[in-house]
Amino acid sequence: MLRAVRTLAFILCIICMGVIIYFSFSSKVDIPQFLSGTFKIGHCLAYVALSFLLFVCFSDFNTHRFFAWNILPMVSSFLLASLFGYAVELCQPYFGRHFALTDMLSDCAGAFIGTVIGFFCVLFMCTIERKRTRS
């Protein structure tokens, strides 16, 4: 089951990256104001999803020493999602868009939130699995 979860997370991660690239570089897309407005909710939500999926791909589902084994996946998923957001922002001027520091900050905030949510979801999954195997 864990292999299937990781495989599905990896496929969804690639799709999520493609969607982020499409919306970041396309100037023809009409994005609703509440997603592209001053609150940068769209940026945050996109990177919540990306970092969540990255953490599920990298995490260790071992219930023994769960916290120690998942520090590196937490840092990796946060850094990869943040670096992806930074790279997208750097490339946007070449596609008729503009570089915005607030977009990058929103991307990093979303990456952090997604990593934390992913950590607790995997912890919850491991707890359920541990209880199921004891019964």
The 3-class secondary structure across the chain, one letter per residue, is CHHHHHHHHHHHHHHHHHHHHHHHHCCCCCCCHHHHCCCCHHHHHHHHHHHHHHHHHHCCCCCCCHHHHCHHHHHHHHHHHHHHHHHHHHHHHHHCCCCCHHHHHHHHHHHHHHHHHHHHHHHHHHHHHHHHHHC
pLDDT grade for 133, boundaries at 50, 70 and 90: confident
133's CB contacts (< 8 A; 6+ apart) are none
Mean pLDDT of 91-107: 87
Higher-confidence residue of 86 and 24: namely 86
C-alpha to C-alpha distance for 57 and 61, rounded to whole angstroms: 10
pLDDT > 70? residue 98: yes
pLDDT digits (tens, 9 = 90+) for 12-50: 999 999 999 998 888 776 666 655 555 678 889 999 999
**pLDDT at position 60, please?**
80
Using the structure block, give the residue that is written with the tokens 């997604």: 114
Percent above pLDDT 70 for the chain = 90
The whole-number pLDDT of residue 31 equals 65
Is the pLDDT score of 121 beyond 60? yes
Domain residue limits, the chain: 2-19+40-134
